[in-house]
Amino acid sequence: MKSLVSKRWLLARLYEPDIIIADCRSLLGQAGAGRAQFNEDHIPGAVHFDLEEDLTAPLGEHGGRHPLPDADTLAARLSRAGINASSRIIAYDDQGGMMASRFWWLLRYLGHEQVYVLDESYNAWKEAKFSITADQPIRIPSTFVANVQPQMLTSMEEVQRISEGSVPIGSYIGFSPILIDSRERPRYLGLEEPIDQAAGHIPGAVNFFWKGVLDEKGTFKNSEQLQQHFADLDQNAEIIVYCGSGVSACPNVLALNEAGFSKVRLYPGSWSDWISYEENPIVVGEE
């Protein structure tokens, strides 16, 4: 199932009644910063969803820096935005699709398939002189019913078994699972760590920096280009994707789906969850 749409596709459908636009502009660790941007201007009719306030649960001892929100809590937030089972939702941001992809993944995780990501940034929309507004949307509340898809995620214990080289998990026995680290290469190698308390990567992980799925203009590559980008990966293998906290891994998950990979799962707690368990090993440098 394709998950990317162009700005012209959205422009042509902007006022169709089942279209709901999700403005996902946010700044990591800065609750409300994206909402301030939204209040200045946004695509007409858009509803804002903040990473820290709407798409993340409160922090705990484990679960990483951006734990998954409670399904019922997020469903209630979606209901207030007028989203229901028949809604077609288009998510955008101005950060290469990182926040929009987190929203996309969460909606898919809650069982909603008609959710898409704008393949270009909000800045590209503005540069094209398409309509923007500062008006606050008035949404009629609806009812969104969550149908959680647990097969879309992977637990820390499962990642441990994969990292240790145990028997492949899940229903894809016969193919070795692949761990993908979506962070920048210096962070993967442990040469720098600007956020988390330990540097390095999960043993056995390979590095595909998430911005590699974008072209030089910051637009998502097309399906053929993404197939080439991931050409070294076995399409029959189960793929587990992580990053620092389960946010920037989501563009990689989306891109892998666009490239035809069907057995892709997210480790939502990611590196920040992995290192919260003192017994978990880490690797610094190449393997």
Question: Residue 39: is it exposed, middle or buried by C-beta count within 10 angstroms (0-12/13-18/19+)?
Answer: exposed
Q: Which CATH number fits domain 4-127: 3.40.250.10, 3.40.50.2300, 3.40.50.1370, 2.70.98.20?
A: 3.40.250.10
Instruction: Give 28-86 pLDDT, tens digit per residue.
Output: 878 888 999 999 999 999 999 999 999 999 999 999 999 999 999 999 999 999 999 99
- Single-letter amino acid code for the residue at 211: K
Could you tell me the residue ranges of all domains in the chain? Answer: 4-127, 153-274
Q: Residue 169: which pLDDT band, with cuts at 50, 70 and 90?
A: very low
Task: Please name the residues in contact with 182: beta carbons below 8 A apart, sequence gap of 6 or more.
Answer: 208, 209, 210, 241, 242, 243, 248, 249, 251, 252
Q: Which of 4-8, 137-141, 250-254 has the lowest mean pLDDT?
A: 137-141
For the structural domain made of 153-274, what CATH number should be given? 3.40.250.10
In the chain, what's the furthest Cα-to-Cα distance? 55
For 64, which DSSP code? -
Catalytic residue among 78, 156, 159, 243: 243
Active site residue 24: no
